Amino acid sequence: MPEIVLHYIWEHCLWAGFDQETTDGRKVEILSVGEHNRDAGPDYSHARIRIDGHEWVGNIEIHVCSSDWIKHHHHLDKAYDSVILHVVRTADKPVYNSHGELIPQCELQYPSDRDYLTDLFTAAQQMDSAIGRIGCAEQLIHDPSLITDGWRKSLLNKRLECKKASIDRLLEITKGSWEHALYISLARNFGFHTNSLPFEQLAINTPLSYLQKHRNSLFQLTAMLMGQSGGLEPDSFCHSEDRDALLKEYRFMQSKFGITPMDPTMWKHARMRPQNNPELRIRQFAQLLYQSESLFSKILDFNGIKELVKLFEWNDSTVPALGRSSIDILLINTVFPYKYAYAKHRNTEFDAIALMEKIPAENNSVIRQWRVLGQRVQSAADTQALLHLYQNYCQHHECINCEVGYQIFKDRQLKLF
C-alpha cells in the first residue's frame, strides 16, 4: 500500500468506528488529525490525541512500516522529537527520537476491503487536483456563477472579522498595546506561511521592549533576533561572515536580559525559495524594526497604497529589499486587518475591501485551484474571499453552511419533488 493512501485514511477520518490502540495495548482516541504539513518535518502538526486518558498535542508521522522511521533517519533528527504518535500499517520494530525516548506507535485500523482500498488509492491520487479538494468542483466547472458577488463580499467580511478576533486575542496578551500586538503579527507574517509559527515564537520570546532599547543599532537588533531564533547556535542555519560578531553581541544581550534562544529545528528550510530563507527573513525583519519607529501610528496615518508600501522599503545594500509581492502579503495579512480592527474599536469607518481591490491577486496553490474552476481572480479582495471559503468551508466539509452547497442541495431537493 502506498503511504499516500494511509495519509488519505488518516486525514479523512476513515478510521472512525474502529478501535485504535498503541502497539503496547493502550487505548488511542484521535481528537484532531492535525494540519497536513507539505514542507520538511513530520506529516501532520497540531494534532490532538488521548492515550489511556492522557491528552497529547503535537505532531504525527505516518509510514507504511515502522522501520521507515529509521530508513529516513528520523531517529537522528530533532525536528521529529515532537512526534506524539507514529501511525503505521505494520509495526515491525520500536522507534525512538533523537533523545533515545520511545515513541508510541499505532497500527491504524480501517476498512480492509480490497475494492474499497483501490477506490481510496484513486481518490488519494486526485487529492492535489481541484476535483479532489473542492466538493462542488464539478458543479462549479459547469456554472462558475454559483459563487456570487454577494457571497464573495460576505466571505471577505468574515475573513476580516476572523483576523480582528486574532488581533483582539493578542491585545489581551499584550495588555492593550497595539504596537506590541502589531510586532507579533508582523513577525508571524514575515514567516510567509512556511515559517509563520517559529517567527511568531521568536517575537513572543523576544519582548519588543528589549529590542526598542537597541533600536538605533541595526547590528544589535540583528544580533538579538538571530540569537533568539537559535540561528547562531553551533551547526545552525546562519553561515554569514558576521556570524561570530553577532554571536558575541548576542551573548552579551543574553546575559543582560536573561533571554533564551529557541530550538533552531523549528525553522523549515527544505523545498524553500531562497528569498524565504529564515536567516534572510530575520535580517529583513530587523531592518524593518530599525527604520520604523512608531510603526503602528504610521500605519494608521497612511491610507494610500503607495504610502503604505514605502513603510516596507529600504535602500540598505547590506539587507536585500523585500519584493513587492512580499510587501503586498504583509499589507493584506497585517496592515489592513490592523487598520480595520482599530477602526472597529474606535467605532469609525475603514474600507479595507477598497484597498484590497487595489492589490494584485495572490498566487498560491489554493487560488490556482479556483482559477481552474473558472473563478474570477482579479485582486486581493477576490483571493482573500476564496481563501476563506476554502479554509473554512471546503476543508471542513461545511457544505451545508456554504451558499454554494446550500444552493446545490436545494436544487437536488426540488428535482426529487
Between 317 and 259, where is the model more confident?
A: 259
Question: Residue 189: which pLDDT band, with cuts at 50, 70 and 90?
Answer: very high
Whether residue 323 lies inside any domain: the answer is yes
Q: 272 has which bridge partners?
A: none
pLDDT in tens, 377-396: 999 999 999 999 999 999 88
The pLDDT of residue 413 is: 56
- Chain centroid to CA 151: 25
Domain's final residue, options 325, 341, 356: 356
Whether residue 398 lies inside any domain: the answer is no
According to DSSP, the β-strands at 83-90 and 105-107 are: parallel
pLDDT in tens, 47-93: 999 999 999 999 999 999 999 999 988 998 888 998 999 999 999 99
The pLDDT of residue 346 is: 96
Whether residue 417 lies inside any domain: the answer is no
Helix (H) and strand (E) counts in the chain: 20, 7
| CA 35/CA 395 separation, integer angstroms | 11
Which of 4-13, 313-322, 344-353 is predicted least confidently? 4-13
- Same domain for 222 and 115, yes or no, is no
The pLDDT of residue 174 is: 95
The pLDDT of residue 121 is: 55
Contact status, residue 210 vs residue 255, Cβ threshold 8 Å: no
Question: Residue 362: which pLDDT band, with cuts at 50, 70 and 90?
Answer: very high
- Residues spanned by the domain of 26: 3-127
The pLDDT of residue 416 is: 46
Whether residue 377 lies inside any domain: the answer is no
Whether residue 397 lies inside any domain: the answer is no
Domain count, the chain: 2
Q: Which residue type, as a one-letter code, is found at position 265?
A: T
Supply the pTM of this predicted model: 0.70
The pLDDT of residue 149 is: 95
Q: Across residues 111-125, what is the average pLDDT?
A: 60
Whether residue 26 lies inside any domain: the answer is yes
Residue with cell 486526485: 126
Domain's final residue, options 314, 335, 356: 356
- Same domain for 156 and 117, yes or no, is no
pLDDT in tens, 80-117: 998 999 999 999 999 999 999 999 999 999 877 666 66
| CA 339/CA 327 separation, integer angstroms | 16
- Same domain for 294 and 196, yes or no, is yes
- Same domain for 38 and 116, yes or no, is yes
pLDDT in tens, 190-247: 998 889 999 999 999 999 999 999 999 999 999 999 999 999 988 788 888 899 999 9
| CA 233/CA 90 separation, integer angstroms | 38
- Same domain for 154 and 276, yes or no, is yes
Contact status, residue 82 vs residue 58, Cβ threshold 8 Å: yes
pLDDT in tens, 10-27: 887 888 888 999 999 999
pLDDT in tens, 325-341: 999 999 999 999 999 99
| Residue 42 pLDDT > 50 | yes
Phi, psi of 228 (to 5 degrees): -65, -30
The pLDDT of residue 131 is: 43
| Residue 297 pLDDT > 80 | yes
The pLDDT of residue 91 is: 94
- Same domain for 50 and 184, yes or no, is no
- DSSP per-residue codes, 379-413: BHHHHHHHHHHIIIIITTT-GGGSHHHHHHHHHHH
The pLDDT of residue 355 is: 96
Helix (H, G, I), strand (E, B) or coil at 252: helix
Residue with cell 490502540: 21
